[in-house]
Amino acid sequence: MFGFFKSEEKKLREAGKNWLYLGDKVYHFRKDQLSDTELDGLVRGIEDLKVQLKSKEASSSKLKYAIDTLESHLKQIGGAFYPRSSIGENVDFFFMALIIYLGVTAFFVKPFKIPTNSMFPTYYGMTEAVWQTEDDEPRGLNWLFRLAAFGSIRYKIEAPADGELLIPIQMDSNYGGSSFSLLKSVVPKRRFIILPGKGIGHWFQIGGETVELKTPLDFTIEEDVLSKAWFPESSSFYSVIRTKLQTGQYKMQPMQVTVNGRQREVQVAMVRTGKRFKKGETVLSFDILTGDQLFVDRIGYHFKRPEVGDGFVFRTANIPQLGEDKFYIKRLVGTPGDTLQIQNSSLLVNGQPAEGSIAFAKNADQEGDYGGYQNTGNLSFGDKLTIPEDSYYALGDNSFNSRDSRYWGFVPESEIVGRPVMIYYPFTRRFGLAK
């Protein structure tokens, strides 16, 4: 840091020590590959530099000459060690950084991205911003700011032809046609433009032509996007679709869609929206903002047992009912031996209102965006549940929109990863210490 205060002689001696280190490294790693002449020249160069470094009366010119001589020889015989190409140095740096990153995330601090809103409003998953007109869409510096600060990614559909927008709805014949859903399927979707991955494919029809929209796996568009964009006067996308199905505003027809690279024909109800577009007009435009990204402490639980009220991250590989290997984040609400019950939107632990997190009291009072705990699954009305040994119970703060222990059971102690300590991105009011 204060190298400019050093004398030229001291700088030269430090440089000499570095060259000596490099010479020894080439000698030990390449001596079996060098000819006798090359090896003798290397040994002489190393010894001459050692003599100059040990001598207190050595002049700067002699020391510099010894360094230059060794460097000249290393240029001829150094192989991959010297001279180093910029590519080689960058590769070494990359692998060193990768090793450090893997070590830190495996044992100390793990970055974790929240995909869904099961912990809303404590933590946010992906959220949407729907643009009603092109004039509403952020552009230029505003768009760049949203991209950098909130991870905002634009999704857009333009009309391929003149005509009415039709929404394909799948009817479930097992329930006499009373059950239905938007046509969608898992499809290939690249991450960061180049990395292969999976997403959700949606298909719509305008003017008799089909358009496809791909969104992230954990993001749903029906209520948060389609309802706001196409039916803003209604509180629910599916309530609109139900009314249109009941009043005959649809036609049954086959539809060709591409799933996993293969063409597939499905029979759907094409629901009429009454919304007409000209070719090239924007049919749908919205941004998806990234979920909260956290640092998770992987060390703390080695010294302190998890406690009721902790937000905690765990793996799902050994939770049979889930059948997937992912990282989840929920609220820890029950430890081994605890008895749980939900009454009137409140969570009771061992017969008393749960303590340890502000989310418990806010859910009990149904304050703000906290809707209260819902009786369902293994904690239905009147049910009491005791947590077995070496197991934990997890609930989402957003009880009405959380798939948690009520549905898939207990979290094995061996699967607990750690406790969130900080939201480091995006740069919103939630940035800072985790709750």
pLDDT tens digits, one per residue of 278-298? 999 999 999 999 999 999 999
pLDDT confidence tier of residue 249, bands split at 50, 70 and 90 = very high
> 334 to each of 154, 339, 347, 419, how far by Cα in Å?
40, 7, 10, 15
At 118-158, the pLDDT tens digits run 999 999 999 999 999 888 999 999 999 999 999 999 999 99
Q: Which pLDDT belongs to residue 53? A: 87
Can you tell me the mean pLDDT for 290-316? 94
What does residue 202 show for φ and ψ, rounded to 5 degrees?
A: -125, 145
User: Can you give the pLDDT at residue 89?
Assistant: 57
| Closest by Cα among 422, 374, 365 to 398 | 374
CA dihedral 159, 160, 164, 165 (to 10 degrees): -60
Predicted pLDDT of residue 2: 46
Query: What was the pLDDT predicted at 84?
Result: 67
Q: Is the pLDDT of residue 175 over 50?
A: no
3-state class of 241 per DSSP? helix
Residue whose C-alpha is closest to residue 244's, from 269, 222, 209, 221:
269
pLDDT at 380: 92
CATH 2.10.109.10 boundaries in the chain? 293-433
Average pLDDT taken over every residue of the chain: 89
All CATH 1.20.1270 domain ranges in the chain, comma separated? 3-77
Hey, which residues does 432 pair with through a beta bridge?
A: 423
Q: Sorting pLDDT into bands at 50, 70 and 90, what band is 176?
A: very low
pLDDT of the residue at 178: 66
Lowest mean pLDDT among 99-103, 174-178, 318-322: 174-178
Q: pLDDT per residue over 348-405, tens digit each?
A: 999 999 999 999 999 999 999 999 999 999 999 989 999 999 999 999 999 999 999 9
**Residues linked to residue 328 through DSSP beta bridges, in sequence order:** 314
With H, G, I as helix, E, B as strand and everything else as coil, classify residue 126: coil
The CA–CA distances, whole Å, from 283 to 159, 181, 216, 231, 286 equal: 6, 20, 20, 13, 10
Kindly indicate the confidence band of residue 342, based on its pLDDT and cuts at 50, 70 and 90.
Answer: very high
Under DSSP, the state recorded for 3 is G
Cβ neighbours of 139 (radius 10 Å): 9
CA angle at residue 375 from 369 to 378, to 5 degrees? Answer: 130
pTM: 0.75
68-125 tens-digit pLDDT: 998 888 888 888 777 766 565 566 667 777 777 777 777 788 899 998 999 999 999 9
The region of weakest confidence among 81-95, 192-206, 304-318, 413-427 is 81-95
d(C-alpha 231, C-alpha 244), whole Å: 12
**Residues in a beta bridge with 130:** 286
**CA separation for the pair 381, 376 (Å, rounded):** 7
List, in order, residues 6 or more apart from 31 with CB less than 8 Å away.
Answer: 39
Would the pLDDT of 230 be above 50?
yes
pLDDT of residue 31: 87
pLDDT of 196 > 50? The answer is: yes
The CATH architecture of the domain made up of 3-77 is: Up-down Bundle (1.20)
In CATH, the number for domain 293-433 is 2.10.109.10
Per-residue pLDDT at 10 exceeds 70 = yes
Position 273 pLDDT exceeds 70: yes
Residue 62: pLDDT band (50, 70, 90) is confident
The 3-state DSSP class for residue 406 equals helix
Return the pLDDT at 260: 65
Amino acid (1-letter code) at residue 314: F
C-alpha 122, offset from chain centre? 17
